[in-house]
Structure 1
Amino acid sequence: MNADDAIDWDDAYSNFAHIADSHAYPAKWLSLAGQFREEMNSKGLLKADLAYGAHARNRLDLFMPHGDLHGLAVFVHGGYWMEDFDKSAWSHLAKGALAHGFAVAVPSYVLCPEVRVSDITVQVGLAITRAASEIAGPIHLTGHSAGGHLVARMVTSTSPLAQAVRQRIRKTVPISPLCDLRPLMRTEMNKTLHLDAVEARLESPALLEPQEGIDVTAWAGAAERPEFVRQNALLANIWSGFDCRVDAVEEPGRNHANIIEGLVEPDHPLTRRLLCL
């Protein structure tokens, strides 16, 4: 490969630059999430701002279903571990799982560069542990983009979760996951992430062994950037050589912004796969 053929890694991971009307999505998410939070709070079905650590961002929201409780689902947001998102933008994504009797936890976490990616892995482990202490039964994990990376990390052999919590995990669905962090060292965003070769390797799910017996579906949109489609397939490809269940789905017509919308619908294939229905 000559210099003219070199990969533009910033463009490869620049999602919104390749999505029509992408600027409208953050406001849309905040509006939908805010409306849903108000609705759930008015019904007494929201346990807001449960602390799982000392930092102001070490908080999670726990949405409770009507009627019988069948377990816990957790959604971990993305934003390249650094963009100014928190739990308040994603509340509405709890709808699908709630309709099937699952409580849904949505945590925030401290962002880079205040902490490192490896620190965020630990934080998410603490958030899941706190939510699991509130809700009995099976645990189902999902997350988007960097959140997909984080939930995949939870089911590796170097997971920060205690074995008692890991044993309760029935299904993990990383959505548009970042499974190999090494290419990100070549992007401008690494001025914020500060990934080095050691951390990138130790925090890349595709370079780690999965825990035995786990059930994972890597889920991406067929219309996403090629690098995300590649990373999604990579996880399933590599982990298929271990003692676990793993597959990959490319949902037709979905891009990096709208791929998460399936979680809102109780009968969408994404929701049903997450809950093993």
Structure 2
Amino acid sequence: MTNDDAYDNSGHIPDAEAYPPRWAAEAEAFRLALGARALVNFSYGDNTRQVFDLFMPEDPPKGCIVFVHGGYWRRFDPRTWSAFASGGLDAGWAVAMPGYTLAPEARISQITREIAQALGVIGDAVPGPLRLVGHSAGGHLVSRMLCGDAMLPSAIADRIEGCVPISPVSDLRPLIDTTMNDDLGLTEREAHGESPALLSRGLDVPMTVWVGGDERPAFLDQARWLAAAWGVGLHVDEGRHHFDVIDGLRDAESPLMRAVLGDTPAG
């Protein structure tokens, strides 16, 4: 398939295969250290993957940061990413990490609906404002929550105060010509209907599109397309590739976390 190399992150990151097991080990250690403030495996639907983990700060939370993971809609679950909640917790926010049914069991359009459903349950669990952040496929999914057809209840939509899609896939049409589409099953119609860069922005909340400067050119393009289509800010994090661009989520004072918390100008 002609776009396989363009969207192959692992093949262009040194020692890429070491990242997932390291993330998982760090996540387990983080949950153990957090103790009773790590609340895992809350259900928001009937599927076994329709669950979220919730991490609570020491004091009553200022609100909830919702982190949606990537993996091309085909890999991972919330339990891999727990350690990336540390920056939000240190800033006094709860952090929720929803899972979703993976392709090929679910189409991307179904996964979009699952994340909307998860936000409703997370919003019931934690009072206050919501801030959305997602990585890669998760960046696509949090962007979709701002589209006019996201079907979020107004009680949840009105609480969203910001969104930072990190290295998002904003136009799904190039993925049709990849081997991974054997799992995704994207058609032209679904790819168009699930592409934030091709859809109207329904929620006018502060937003910054974030991408690593050392990412594949296709991901730099995807980030630029979304920022241009929606007229929002674009931040290129120089020296970061697709796997370490999320590291700033661990540090409450990092530029990335300041963007998530609305402490830097956003589009």
Q: TM-score, normalised by structure 1?
A: 0.93
Pick from 9, 13, 27 the counterpart of residue 15 of structure 1: 9
Does the 8 A contact of 2:166 with 2:209 survive in 1? Answer: yes
- Which residue of 184, 188, 202 maps to 1:211? 202
Shift of 1:212: 4.3
RMSD: 1.0
- 1:8 to partner: Cα distance: 3.3
Cα distance in structure 2, aligned partners of 1:90 and 1:69:
20
Q: Find the aligned partners of 1:186 and 1:163 in 2 and give their Cα distance.
A: 37
Corresponding residue for residue 26 of structure 1: 20
**Does 2:254 correspond to 1:262?**
no
What residue in structure 2 maps to residue 61 of structure 1? 53
Find the counterpart in structure 1 of residue 234 from structure 2.
248
Letter of the aligned partner of 2:159 in structure 1? R
Aligned length: 263
Shift of 1:222: 0.3
Runs of 4 or more above 6 Å deviation: none
Tell me the amino acid that sits aligned with residue 14 of structure 1. D
Where does the alignment leave 5 or more consecutive residues of structure 2 unmatched?
A: none
3-state SS, counterpart of residue 11 of structure 1: coil
Q: Please show how residues 13-92 of structure 1 align to structure 2 within 5 Å.
A: 13-40=7-34, 42=35, 44-83=36-75, 85-92=76-83
CA offset digits 1:223-252 (Å, max 9, x no partner): 000000010011010111xxxxx2111101
Distance 1:26 1:159 in 2: 30
Whether the 8 Å contact between 2:209 and 2:223 is mirrored in structure 1 is: yes
- Distance in 1, Cα, partners of 2:147 & 2:113: 13
Matched, 1:199 2:190: yes
Deviation at 1:156, TM superposition (A): 0.8
User: 2:235 is matched by which residue type in structure 1?
Assistant: V
SS across alignment from 1:49: strand
Instruction: Say whether the 8 Å CA contact 1:59–1:109 is kept in structure 2.
Output: yes
1:69 deviates by 1.5
Alpha-carbon distance in structure 1 between the residues aligned to 2:85 and 2:246: 11
The runs of 5 or more residues in structure 1 that have no matched partner are: 1-6, 241-245
Shift of 1:182: 0.3
Q: Please, which of 252, 262, 265 is the counterpart of residue 276 of structure 1?
A: 262
Residue correspondence of structure 1 range 163-242 to structure 2 within 5 A: 163-240=154-231
**What is the aligned-residue identity percentage?**
44
The yes-or-no answer on 1:140 pairing with 2:117 is: no
Displacement of 1:129 after TM fit?
1.1
Question: Secondary structure in 1 aligned to 2:210?
Answer: strand
Which residue pairs with 1:3 in the alignment? none
One-letter code aligned to 2:31: R
Task: Measure, in 1, the Cα distance between the counterparts of 2:150 and 2:78.
Answer: 22
Shift of 1:131: 0.7
User: For the residues of structure 1 that align with 2:191 and 2:59, how far apart are their CA atoms?
Assistant: 43
TM-score by length of 2: 0.97
1:114-133 pair list within 5 angstroms: 114-133=105-124
d(CA) in 1 for partners of 2:112 and 2:28? 27
Q: State the Cα deviation string for residues 159-193 of structure 1 (Å, max 9, x = none).
A: 13112211110110000000000000000110110
Q: Which amino acid aligns with 2:156?
A: V
CA distance in 2: counterparts of 1:75 and 1:175, whole angstroms: 10
Distance in structure 2 (CA, Å) of the matches to 1:232 and 1:37: 32
Check whether the contact 1:142–1:274 (CA below 8 A) recurs between aligned residues: yes
